[in-house]
Amino acid sequence: MDHPPAPAPYRGRFAPSPTGPLHFGSLVAAVGSYLRARAAGGAWLLRMDDIDTPRNVPGAADGILRDLEGLGLEWDGPVVYQSDCLEAYTAALGRLLEQGAAYPCACSRAEVRAASEAAGLAPGVYPGTCRGGTGGRPGRSVRLRTDGARIAFTDGLLGRQKQDLEAAVGDFVIRRADGLFAYQLAVVVDDAAAGITEVVRGSDLLDSTPRQIHLYRRLGLPEPTWFHLPIAVTPAGEKLSKQTGAEAIGGEAAPEALWRALAFLGQAPPAALRGAPGPELLAWAEAHWDPGSIPARAALPDPSRADPSRAAAPEEVGRE
């Protein structure tokens, strides 16, 4: 009698962009992905998503690593840097072009906006202007064909998701006009190369998931499962980031931030451990980890501006 193959050992990851110091929003993703991996007895890998070189801040990568180490968030294996993986991205792009799944595009952003408006599409949806060729114009970027693809998947926290990729996004960029590889391509190649079995990250990236699934299928790569955590937002409902006033959480502030991150994820850390050293608090979190307590919402208020013990209270969460 044939038996189904055993599931692959769990492999998760945290992949920050070194565009500034670690802040509360990115710490939530780090903690959530770390605890998912440790609860499964699996590996937790670390990658620096530094492919968008114009946005990288000198010293930010080293600062993020120091902050994670200081909290006891220990990763498995060496840190991977996207800037070291350009050959792999080039090879993947070449395969897609050879298949006819991708094509050069000569359109500027302004031209895309005008064309989508003329076609009655949502702003920024690419109407396929260069699918049949650039009309002799030099290609600026490279796009992946969507060809009516309808993507559906089940998120581990947010449930069933679906998107008509062509209608919602259109053929999307996988190599930018400035010659850099797009995030969508790079992250798929990276996660497949690392054997990632579940992607745990913020729900601000939920809309990118159908594009990435489409890329996995075009490249013939095994797809991971998905688990999108709620993101911290400002009182105005904006994603917490450097641009919206997020503060660095390193140094003496780090243990307090870790306690708040666990509260944000619905884990109810005891008040007696508030401000305790990171490794001590993480030991408690690993022993008491309950993913069923994570609020199944796309966004929650930033608890640094309110009582952290009430951070996940449903009555405080606005309509999504």
* Ordered domains of the chain (ranges, CATH): 11-84+230-316 (3.40.50.620), 86-228 (3.40.50.620)
Q: Would you place residue 184 in the very low, low, confident or very high pLDDT band (cuts 50, 70, 90)?
A: very high
Structure tokens of 285? 């979190």
Q: Residue 6 — very low, low, confident or very high, per pLDDT cuts 50/70/90?
A: low
Share of the chain above pLDDT 70, in %: 89
CB 269 within 8 A of CB 309: no
Q: Are 51 and 181 in contact (CB under 8 A)?
A: yes
In this prediction, residues 168-194 reach a mean pLDDT of: 97
Q: What is the pLDDT of residue 253?
A: 82
Q: Are 92 and 175 in contact (CB under 8 A)?
A: no
How are beta strands 43-48 and 11-14 bridged, if at all? Answer: parallel
pLDDT value, residue 310: 36
pLDDT at 204: 93
Pairing, β 159-164 against β 225-229: unpaired
Residue 257: the pLDDT is 93
pLDDT tens-digit map of 247-301: 678 777 899 999 999 999 999 999 999 989 999 999 999 999 999 999 988 777 7
- In whole numbers, what is the pLDDT of the chain averaged over residues? 89
pLDDT at 2 over 70: no
**pLDDT tens string 198-239:** 999 999 999 999 999 999 999 999 999 999 999 988 766 667
Percent pLDDT > 90 in the chain is 79
Task: Output the CA torsion sign for 294, 297, 299, 303.
Answer: negative
Backbone angles phi, psi at 189, to 5 degrees: -60, -45
- Residues 137/103, Cβ–Cβ less than 8 Å: no
The per-residue pLDDT for 320 is 19
Mean pLDDT on 187-193: 98
Residue 236: burial class (beta carbons within 10 Å; 0-12, 13-18, 19+): exposed
For position 181, what pLDDT does the model report? 98
Q: Above 50 in pLDDT, residue 46?
A: yes
Query: What is the DSSP-derived secondary structure letter of residue 185?
Result: H
Q: Compute the average pLDDT of residues 45-64.
A: 96
CA distances in angstroms from 83 to 51, 75, 92, 96, 205, listed in the order given: 6, 19, 15, 21, 21
Question: What is each CA distance from 267 to 190, 262, 274, in whole angstroms?
Answer: 30, 5, 13
Q: How far apart are CA 92 and CA 9, in angstroms?
A: 25
What is the pLDDT at residue 233? Answer: 84
pLDDT of residue 312: 35
170 has a pLDDT exceeding 80? yes
| pLDDT of res. 147 | 93
- Report whether pLDDT(154) > 70: yes
DSSP annotation of 245: T
pLDDT tier at 68, thresholds 50, 70, 90: very high
pLDDT tens readout for residues 72-123: 999 999 999 999 999 999 999 999 999 999 999 999 999 999 999 988 888 8
